[in-house]
Amino acid sequence: MDPRAEQSPEVMTLRVVSPAFGFGGTIPIEYTCEGADIPPPLSWTSPPPGTKSIAVIVEDPDAPNPKAPERTWTHWIVTGVPADVTTLDAGGFVPEGTTFGTNDYGQRSWNGPCPPIGRHRYFFKVYALDIELRSPGITRLELLAAMKGHILARGELIGTYEKKKPPRR
């Protein structure tokens, strides 16, 4: 998707926050592969009128090495969140009718931060859409294509994570 399309004047901004970490802050270990590996709680401001559904995607643009990134790694895709919902609770409990897309682990679930090297950034992106988009198994590229021309508002929260170093012996 052309990034400029997301930033057109018609696209409003959603404020995305988490009580687990602040913008640019460290994602707590509980939400990573080194912890319980559950999604953190997220909330966002009310979407604009005309919103039919919400989509959420969590991406790491620093894979595999933040000093030489090669690709954007998708950790979580959620579609079909009802327009009146502005919160996803910790642990991935989602409203009825919500579906999960297929992440880059090949799973229809959350797979949290687990960077092989260095401190990575994780973009929690929320989109308000003028269509009802419920697509079980949808991939990142399919999602971006399906949303093209249907984004009423978007917002993001960025967190970071670096694996704990093993103790020296």
- Round to whole Å and give the CA distance between 45 and 98: 19
pTM over 0.85? The answer is yes
Q: Over the chain, what is the mean pLDDT?
A: 93
Query: What token pair was written down for 108?
Result: 């229809």
Q: Is residue 169 part of a domain?
A: no
The pLDDT, as a whole number, for residue 6 is 47
Q: What share of the chain in percent tops pLDDT 90?
A: 86
166 lies in some domain: no
For the chain, what is the domain count? 1
**Structure tokens that stand for 128 in this block:** 């308000």
pLDDT band at 2 (very low <50, low <70, confident <90, very high): very low
pLDDT at residue 41 above 80?
yes
For 87-118, the pLDDT digits (tens) are 999 987 889 989 999 999 999 999 999 999 99
CATH of the domain at 10: 3.90.280.10
122 pLDDT higher than 80: yes
Q: Which residue, 76, 53, 82, is CA-closest to 123?
A: 76
